[in-house]
């Protein structure tokens, strides 16, 4: 039993307990949960084991995922199949269920969030795997003949990037403001500030949409639809600034 305890404890601490087998090379039997509970007595090690089981279960279920809040959240989310999820009940973060980007990014598509373009030669590639976005770079681009176009593309990228960055910073300000008001709200003799908190939430969401609208607009090549999108974005930005 001491040998088994040491073996299982080591596997759990190394995060290798799931699907582990008997230490005898000829034996492929796997220790059951009941067996592990009977051998391992440390509450800390058992807690790690249960976390490993939960993590394995979530990863095996196609309709489950973890909240992707970069600040850290251990909430499990149920995918709704729409490409974005409802706000996390624990931290209110909205995750994207279709790609590895850490948050829902409407109106920008998942393709927009992974498609990067070189400002010098216009070469498109995927930022996750760094492979060419199109089959063959030389078949679609001619770096030496596109200097002026590359300069224009670089300026265009900088403009959209600056706008996107501004809205992200403004969104952080809305979050900070909401947190400050929440703390003030706890003070005695302060009147109800719910309407201000609601305004901050709307402001945060509007800044998020405006930020990802920049991504959408940068990649959208349809001139006719872009006129409509730009008009709507400009209107939303004016109202958001007023708020």
pLDDT in tens, 191-201: 677 888 899 99
User: By residue range, what is the domain housing residue 99?
Assistant: 61-104
Q: Is the same domain home to 6 and 75? A: no
The Cα–Cα gap between 14 and 73 comes to: 22
Q: Is the same domain home to 83 and 47? A: no
Q: Out of 35-49, 53-67, 94-108, 133-147, give the one with best mean pLDDT.
A: 35-49
Is 139's pLDDT higher than 50?
A: no
Contact 165, 191 (CB under 8 A): no
Helix (H, G, I), strand (E, B) or coil at 57: helix
Q: Is the same domain home to 77 and 137? A: no
- Under DSSP, the state recorded for 19 is T
Q: Is the same domain home to 198 and 120? A: yes
Q: Out of 79-88, 92-101, 154-163, 206-215, give the one with best mean pLDDT.
A: 206-215
Provide the pLDDT for residue 149: 61
Instruction: Give the mean pLDDT of 6-33.
Output: 85
Q: Is the same domain home to 234 and 123? A: yes
Q: Is the same domain home to 15 and 129? A: no
Provide the pLDDT for residue 207: 93
- Burial (CB count <10 Å: 0-12, 13-18, 19+), residue 7: middle
Provide the pLDDT for residue 114: 66
- Please state the separation of Cα 193 from the chain's center in Å: 31
Q: Is the same domain home to 233 and 179? A: yes
Provide the pLDDT for residue 63: 80
Q: Is the same domain home to 123 and 234? A: yes
Is 202's pLDDT higher than 90?
A: yes
Beta bridge partners of 123: none
Quickly state the pLDDT bin for 108 (edges 50, 70, 90). confident
Q: Is the same domain home to 80 and 38? A: no
Q: How many domains does the chain have?
A: 3
Is 104's pLDDT higher than 90?
A: no
Q: Is the same domain home to 145 and 89? A: no
The model's pTM is 0.51
- Under DSSP, the state recorded for 79 is -
Helices (H), 27-146: 33-39, 43-60, 110-114, 137-140
Greater confidence (59 vs 198) lies with: 198
Strands (E) in the chain, as ranges, are 64-66, 76-78, 115-117, 124-126
Number of Cβ within a 10 Å radius of residue 113: 21
209 φ, ψ to 5°? Answer: -65, -40
The Cα–Cα gap between 5 and 39 comes to: 6
Q: Is the same domain home to 152 and 170? A: yes
Helices (H), 61-146: 110-114, 137-140
């Amino acid at each position: 039993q001491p040998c088994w305890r040491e073996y299982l404890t080591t596997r759990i601490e190394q995060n290798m307990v799931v699907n582990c087998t008997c230490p005898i090379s000829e034996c492929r039997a796997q220790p059951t949960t009941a067996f592990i509970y009977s051998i391992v007595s440390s509450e800390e090690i058992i807690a790690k084991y249960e976390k490993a089981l939960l993590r394995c279960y979530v990863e095996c279920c196609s309709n489950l995922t973890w909240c992707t809040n970069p600040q850290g959240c251990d909430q499990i989310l149920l995918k709704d199949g729409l490409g974005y999820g409802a706000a996390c009940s624990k931290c209110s973060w909205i995750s994207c269920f279709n790609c590895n980007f850490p948050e829902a990014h409407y109106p920008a598509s998942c393709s927009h969030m992974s498609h990067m373009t070189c400002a010098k030669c216009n070469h498109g590639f995927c930022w996750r795997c760094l492979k060419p976005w199109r089959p063959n770079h030389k078949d679609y681009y001619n770096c030496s003949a596109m200097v002026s176009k590359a300069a224009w593309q670089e300026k265009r990228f900088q403009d959209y990037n600056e706008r996107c960055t501004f809205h992200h910073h403004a969104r952080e300000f809305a979050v900070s403001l909401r947190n400050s008001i929440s703390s003030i709200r706890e003070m005695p003799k302060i009147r109800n500030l719910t309407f201000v908190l609601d305004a901050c939430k709307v402001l945060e969401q509007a800044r998020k949409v405006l930020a990802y609208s920049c991504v959408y607009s940068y990649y959208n090549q349809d001139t006719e639809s872009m006129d409509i999108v730009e008009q709507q974005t400009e209107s939303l930005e004016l109202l958001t600034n007023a708020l």
